[in-house]
Amino acid sequence: MWGDYLRSQYLHFRPRPWLAVVGIVILVLIVWASYVTISDWLSGAGPWILAAICVVSLLYIVLYVGVIIPISAYRIFKQQKSLNLPFSIEASSEVFCSFNETGKITMPWSHFVKWKESEKLLLLYHSDILFNLVPKRLFQSDAQLNEFRGFLNDVRRVG
């Protein structure tokens, strides 16, 4: 489902909590510097190039999050036909299995290097950039979801 895939990309790019704090501090500093620089420029006291750099930096951040990530995700979603097919998962204490009409993967939990969770998704990482997307709506109850999380006890949780 396209919406799940887009949410997975935002979750994938979401930094670890301590990096998010650093990022927020940097963003606040950029906004503050932009305000000071643009105020100086408007009053005629500062160079226009610094104001332009600040404005361009802020616009790039908004453009990246609001346009580049969704366009990139959409392109990948359309290119990779397997992402467009319905899939099922099975999990036991030994392995995770995901399958659809074109194939099946079975992975021992120990082969996953990390996992992330959001309100609607779980991402199970084979490497830093390759992951399996597991929508939480696939679980019929909170007990099932908690059992699934229990299988991930030995896998490092990030974010």
The two tokens of residue 143 are 């007990």
Q: Which parts of the chain fold into alpha helices (H)?
A: 2-13, 17-42, 48-63, 69-79, 142-151
Distance CA 131, CA 60 (A): 27
pLDDT, tens only, 9-51:
989 888 777 777 887 888 788 778 777 777 776 777 666 676 6
Number of Cβ atoms within 10 Å of the Cβ of 33: 14
Phi, psi of 77 (to 5 degrees): -60, -40
Beta carbons within 8 Å of 99's beta carbon, 6+ residues apart: 87, 88, 89, 90, 105
The pTM assigned to this predicted structure is: 0.76
Pairwise pLDDT comparison (57 vs 99), residue with the higher score: 99
Residue carrying the six token digits 């959409």 = 74
What is the structure's pLDDT at 52? 74
Average pLDDT, the chain: 87
Distance CA 60, CA 93 (A): 44
Distance CA 122, CA 117 (A): 5
Q: Helix, strand or coil for residue 88?
A: strand
Going by pLDDT thresholds of 50, 70 and 90, the confidence category of residue 93 is very high
What is the structure's pLDDT at 15? 73
